[in-house]
Structure 1
Amino acid sequence: DRSQMVSRIDCSMLTSLGLGCFTRMSWSKADPKERCSMVQREVRKAEEEARHVKAVAMKKQGSWTRWDGVQERALTWQDIWSMEGRRIKFLMCSVYNVLPTPSNLHIWRMADIPSCTLCGKQANLEHILSACQPSLADGKFRWCHDKILAQLADGVEQARKKIIQLSNGHHFIQFVRTGESTAAGRRSRGVLATANDWEMRVDLKKRLKFPEEIAHTSLRPDIVLWSRGTNQVVLIELTVPWEERLEEAHERKLKKYQSLILESQQNGWKAWNLPVEVGCRGTLGLLGIEGMARKRLVGKHLIGSGYSGRCGGRGNLLKDKQQHRTG
């Protein structure tokens, strides 16, 4: 029927697979249990579409519908139980932009002045979390950035050590008896799997100095990985922008390090620039994140263990604003 055909066409448009690769249970061939599941899916889909239409019409609470290139995230029970109640509240209210910012308090007629006490500009959520220049000068935004960078660097370091450990270990031949078969081992893919002598520097605590053997520059990427044996260098640059500016931040970081990439290549090095964007409300940008291994690495260490820390850090920024107002 028409609905089944539309569903298959939608699936083929969203993926690289062709029409016919997705199958859907026919109502006439389904048993009572399967029919019940089909009805539940259709009702859930209709409710989700209605909710999305309503959210799009909301200028403030529906701003999340305009987040492009952002990985969807569903809070699991483990996330909920592991996070403090105040952090869960902050997370939910920040997504729907209903936190008690001076701008919102003024709209709700609970405050007389909607401006920022530090710079005098409109103190909405975007300004507090990503645009206040005095907060930037005081290092508050840098503190949040470095907390996320520490999580990312830890994940990259674990992957680097694992590659070195596997390459230096003993490799035994696995014999297979006649008539038996064994599953083929998966070969590691990605840049890290191409060398076993990776060195790493991170722009934390002390100023990072780019390896002079690769190129002479004053630029300081957040993470630098390089292999002398294979003449490869990887730059990882983290940005924590407002969610609606993820794409802009990605393009800006690509352009910023383009000259360094070209100079490294001219000096005989294979060079990669990998910008990573994490929204200031804890969302992960998907621009430039390719391959399952890279997605797992970034997702595990940024959305996982570092998530509650980011919520707490951003909550402190909002708390500081309120203290300046009442002090």
Structure 2
Amino acid sequence: MRDSADKIIKKIHPEIRSGTKWSASKTTQEAECSLRIKDIMGVTQSNRAGLGSTTNKIFSKEGPKEKRDMVLEEVRVFEEEQRTAVAVAQAKQCAWTKWNDIEPIKLSWKSLIAMEPLAISFLLRSTYDLLPNATNLKLWGYTDSDLCFSCKQDRGTLRHVLSACPKLLQLYTWRHNQVLEIIIELLRTQYESANQQPVTVKQPTIQFDKEGECPVRRKNSEVKQLNGANDWKISADLFTFLQFPAHIIQTEKRPDIAAWSDTKKSVLLIELTVPWEENVEDAHERKKNRYESLRADSIEKNWKCFVIPIEVGCRGFLGHSVISLLTKLGITGQKLKAASN
């Protein structure tokens, strides 16, 4: 109302009651002060993008509507920073703040309605470590022992139960195969679609921007991994013993998925891991190093070999590597969103 063009509305100063812990007027004033300080600082660059790659709005030069939108966005940033600061102080319930290379799960009303109640309960309670494992039951005063119910050797923490109990290895294998089956179906559909397309090889071009114009980010709609061939074959180490193509190289190693094209002389080795979310980075490097020798041997045989480790957390959170793989194979937009859910 303060910035309204109507003189009568501009004189109205309503009292906004927002409780004792949060003040709307104070928060708005802080947001405006922060935006004015950013105007004084000028355009800055905080990531690896070059200067001029991002556009920054100047608060003092924007109109009333744009200023309101900028203030609202700044308030959201403040609230998110405070929420994160509180979460970091809670080492047990908010261990998710330490997860790296993990895609956040966006729970919309549509997705919540489609999910099973037990799946929602497991997702939320496992994220905040509120499942009734042996350690929590002892902490809550229900039992006297915190030993794992299955192995009776180590403490039954959530991490032990979901990823480290020696008595639950068969369940871990079953979980791994369930995730692998979903990924295989997605990839097989994409490769079959690529095989039905004519072979097109486009020469790379460089598009320059005119002098004085801001750089334009151009989206590349081509699927580079699948271009140049329509004879892709895919094999998986699921239900049947995977035999790596002998005409490429003879090896005893068995990646979860192998996809290759004889005309393009290109092979993709995809290895799935379902680790504890905090161990996603370590699992990625471990799997990548495991197949490094196979990649080197394939290159010596004049084959292009790509080792692609992917990770899906034991709670169901996708790693960045999964999204990257699906995007490179042409699964984008709503199809990618549906696959992620």
TM-score, normalized by length of structure 1?
Answer: 0.80
Which one has a bigger Cα radius of gyration? 2
* Consecutive unaligned residues in structure 2, runs of 5 or more: 1-35, 201-217
Change (3 A) 1:39 1:301: closer
Q: Please tell me whether residue 50 in structure 1 is matched to residue 85 in structure 2.
A: no
> 1:318 aligns to what?
none
> 1:112 aligns to what?
144
- Deviation of 1:189 (Å): 2.7
Q: Please tell me whether residue 123 in structure 1 is matched to residue 156 in structure 2.
A: yes
CA distance, structure 2, for counterparts of residue 270 and residue 256 of structure 1 = 17
Q: Please tell me whether residue 14 in structure 1 is matched to residue 76 in structure 2.
A: no
> 1:151 aligns to what?
182
Q: CA RMSD in A?
A: 2.8
The count of aligned residue pairs is 288
Q: Please tell me whether residue 2 in structure 1 is matched to residue 37 in structure 2.
A: yes
Change (3 A) 1:304 1:185: closer
- Deviation of 1:25 (Å): 5.0
- Deviation of 1:80 (Å): 0.8
Report if the CA contact (8 A) 1:60-1:96 is conserved. yes
- What's the CA shift string for 1:68-107, capped at 9, x where partnerless? 1112232122211101222212111111111111111111
- Deviation of 1:112 (Å): 1.7
Report 1 or 2 for greater relative contact order, CA contacts < 8 Å, sequence distance ≥ 6: 1
> 2:165 aligns to what?
132
- What's the CA shift string for 1:126-178, capped at 9, x where partnerless? 11111111111xx1101111111111111111111111112279xxxxxxxxx
Amino acid at match of 2:49: S
Q: Please tell me whether residue 205 in structure 1 is matched to residue 239 in structure 2.
A: yes
* Consecutive unaligned residues in structure 1, runs of 5 or more: 170-183, 308-327
> 2:14 aligns to what?
none
Counterpart of 1:47 in 2: which secondary structure? helix
Change (3 A) 1:69 1:168: closer
Q: Please tell me whether residue 142 in structure 1 is matched to residue 142 in structure 2.
A: no
Change (3 A) 1:108 1:205: same
Amino acid at match of 1:44: R
Change (3 A) 1:19 1:125: same
Report if the CA contact (8 A) 2:134-2:149 is conserved. no
- What's the CA shift string for 1:160-208, capped at 9, x where partnerless? 1111112279xxxxxxxxxxxxxx9976232212311111101111111
- Deviation of 1:281 (Å): 1.0
- Deviation of 1:265 (Å): 1.3
CA distance, structure 1, for counterparts of residue 58 and residue 70 of structure 2 = 8
Write out aligned runs for 1:50-89 (5 A). 50-89=82-121
Report if the CA contact (8 A) 2:59-2:67 is conserved. no
> 1:103 aligns to what?
135
Report if the CA contact (8 A) 2:311-2:322 is conserved. no
Write out aligned runs for 1:1-327 (5 A). 1-4=36-39, 8-9=43-44, 12-14=45-47, 16-19=49-52, 21-24=54-57, 26-27=59-60, 29-31=62-64, 33-119=65-151, 120-136=153-169, 139-167=170-198, 188-287=222-321, 290=324, 293-294=327-328, 297=331, 304-305=338-339, 307=341
Amino acid at match of 1:233: V
Percent identity for Structure 1 against Structure 2:
35
Change (3 A) 1:82 1:8: farther
Counterpart of 1:261 in 2: which secondary structure? helix
Report if the CA contact (8 A) 2:295-2:306 is conserved. yes
TM-score, normalized by length of structure 2?
Answer: 0.77
Report if the CA contact (8 A) 2:268-2:306 is conserved. yes
> 1:325 aligns to what?
none
Report if the CA contact (8 A) 2:137-2:143 is conserved. yes
- Deviation of 1:288 (Å): 8.4
